[in-house]
Structure 1
């Protein structure tokens, strides 16, 4: 590992050099800030860059490590936060004109935990307005590091793009219907939607109180596990394991459909073949009424989001992006009976997912049926439903689900999703690490290698 590619090293590799005295947090933070300055005009991954704060935190981390105070694996590691997470003294915009000048007085719980872990905050990342599926024109789309004409996904696209492009080592995102995993898939990184309630959301602006989750994005399952440990305050053992004899359930209904791009299906099929070659056992699993998920998500999401925004929508409707405003208005038309029935369906869906997982350790599906599109589809439209069709079940059930890069189709990343039982986040990450090791070169696009964000200094 040379200093020129240190921004694409793993968190343990960088930490080892810190502790050996061959690299300093200040050096790495300066390199990350320089890369942000160089590349972010094209990516638009950050809303706010906290350069002075980051350098001060890096200097503190460097002094502490030299003095023998070690806060753990994230000590001195540059990270980023999705810009709906409160940061005392640093503006938190939620990607909206309504919050453009908002500066919180207090830190969110996850901000506190990352600071206590010694992480260095580089800044606040771009997102769809209030995480609700539409770009506000004041902030613009976050572009995909693999193709700047395409989106990095929503709503945690800024976090995913920043990680993929080497602007930070890990980032925090939120996920209400797939908003960590979809950007992770589009940008070729790893993203975990943890078990419901595992990561505290105090001080994180809500979209839908019963569907919201917060979790890590990183370039590997191992790095994501370190980020998760800091966010929860609990150790996470995500060491790769021998795949021989491990039983995976393939949710066949989610491997096909008119929306499934052939290239995505091909990459997923190759990953399954690689697992069989490693001695894993793959069996088909089924979940009853899976086709009702699309119809169940919106009656939960829409009215909960509208309840959050009711006062602002009355007072300042013109401040929202038009698409956001339409979705908020639509939420008031959802009847109480439809909302209750959708909530009842969630309980049945969780029961049926548990049954499908009873004979396997994890469930496999493609994360998204296509590679990154040029624009994010509307949440309440047919394309939005198709985009979240494979991710939304984990929000409705609260089960942990991990997206990792399985390979490339036409030079663009393809995500593979691993779903496990509630509380088995470490297992999902461990299996993710095993899959990343197994797929190896399949996860690297074909020549020319200059298309890889990790191998270039300009976009």
Structure 2
């Protein structure tokens, strides 16, 4: 197997090679670090690469596996962490000037769990400043491995780019309005926003307390389930048979859906039908109010979080980040309360729909990866997040999987939504759909990097 093929293997394949003695964690970690050195100047996926620490973790994993101490599927597997997740003794910048020298004393709960699972952390992935959808000029946006002239998505773009380019095998992202699923769609990955509260957020810098989620980005739903297991200590392996399942299509068109995205989505629906599932159209009443509700919740919560800095270090923010924070101070409390009431109403609508359906599906994003991330409070940002935002409001598990490619060879995602706490089922549907959709290409062409 070539080094390139090895770096695009699945996590179970890597585990089998480790346990057969045909590959060592140190050898694989060195390959990942070499690839980061070669490609990250183009991709800008990492803010901090922790090469020495990664090699130490890999050596420990190698010793443990050789001695029969097996921590599970992630043992010795190289991953990345979004750079707003605290790591003890390692810079955690939130891609901001304000925290550019911040070194936490304690790792986030999710990092501690991943360390217990034996994962090897290669470093801290680039992201939008404080996850607000705007790249600070000090860090710049991460670029898409499928076309480095385009974005890998906000705000977990560095995590997505690193996985898609074969720099690591999975990465942790966060999602407040689509920040895992949108990069997953743009980069051809599986990205899960779990059920709200499933992943502990202690030590993860907040954007909006009541909307924030942390979740996995990987090259398949199966690999994403394995990373989620490491993040939570729970099992998410579930095989799903699509035969006899009932899917409801929501937000199929409208709001700028590009023809190439619509065509890929239709092919995914056809694949579900061919596998024996029923696919029907469905409307969720009041769904068009979701974007306004999200802003009325997110912006005041973000303003409260940043009140300690905005008055004294306002010039250290990217101008648009600062503007969005200041918008939060102007939203009346009654508007915030009504938005929270709307969330309960919207959640009830989704639960009613899922009483008679197994899952809801939609395009993840209306278009393929653009050149730059749109500002999420602007008109283009509203279109970009139109299909992801509702599920942050409801807290339902929502998974984006690669469904194919548009005319320009860029990935297109399909989003799968299921009932609360059915994350294993959601990931199982994702794996079944991936198996039913033969992709012409499953990884970016290497020539793009030459």
For Structure 1 versus Structure 2, the TM-score category normalised by the shorter chain is: over 0.9
* Corresponding residue of 1:88: 88
Q: Are 1:237 and 2:237 counterparts? A: yes
Shift of 1:140: 0.6
Shift of 1:454: 6.1
Correspondences of 1:277-316 after superposition (within 5 Å): 277-316=274-313
Q: Is the 8 A contact 2:146 2:445 kept in 1?
A: no
1:48-71 Cα deviation digits (max 9, x unpaired): 000000000000000000000000
Q: Are 1:247 and 2:246 counterparts? A: yes
Q: Are 1:173 and 2:164 counterparts? A: no
Q: Is the 8 A contact 1:164 1:219 kept in 2?
A: yes
* Corresponding residue of 1:218: 218
Counterparts of 1:456 and 1:116, CA distance in 2: 38
Q: Is the 8 A contact 2:42 2:449 kept in 1?
A: no
Counterparts of 2:361 and 2:377, CA distance in 1: 26
Counterparts of 2:3 and 2:34, CA distance in 1: 14
Q: Are 1:453 and 2:450 counterparts? A: no
* Corresponding residue of 1:320: 317
Correspondences of 1:37-56 after superposition (within 5 Å): 37-56=37-56
Shift of 1:350: 0.3
Q: 2:393 aligns with which of 385, 389, 396?
A: 396
Shift of 1:458: 3.4
Q: Is the 8 A contact 2:43 2:148 kept in 1?
A: yes
Q: Is the 8 A contact 1:159 1:173 kept in 2?
A: yes
Shift of 1:457: 8.7
Q: Is the 8 A contact 2:185 2:402 kept in 1?
A: yes
Q: Is the 8 A contact 1:45 1:157 kept in 2?
A: yes
* Corresponding residue of 1:203: 203
* Corresponding residue of 1:405: 402
Shift of 1:3: 4.0
1:83-102 Cα deviation digits (max 9, x unpaired): 00000000000000000000
Segments of 4+ moved more than 3 angstroms: 1-4, 454-459
Unaligned runs of 5+ in 1: 446-451
Q: 1:416 aligns with which of 390, 414, 427?
A: 414
Counterparts of 2:48 and 2:448, CA distance in 1: 22
1:383-425 Cα deviation digits (max 9, x unpaired): 1111111001110000000001001112111010000000000
* Corresponding residue of 2:359: 362
* Corresponding residue of 1:449: none
* Corresponding residue of 1:26: 26
Shift of 1:237: 1.5
Aligned residues between the structures? 449
Shift of 1:242: 2.3
Shift of 1:232: 0.7
Q: Is the 8 A contact 1:169 1:218 kept in 2?
A: yes
Unaligned runs of 5+ in 2: none
1:173-212 Cα deviation digits (max 9, x unpaired): 0000000000000011110000000000000000000000
Match of 1:315, SS state, is coil
* Corresponding residue of 2:334: 337
Shift of 1:143: 0.6
CA RMSD of aligned residues (A): 1.1
* Corresponding residue of 2:116: 116
Q: Is the 8 A contact 1:371 1:414 kept in 2?
A: yes
Normalising by the residue count of structure 2, what TM-score does the alignment of the two structures yield? 0.98
Q: Is the 8 A contact 1:367 1:415 kept in 2?
A: yes
Normalising by the residue count of structure 1, what TM-score does the alignment of the two structures yield? 0.96
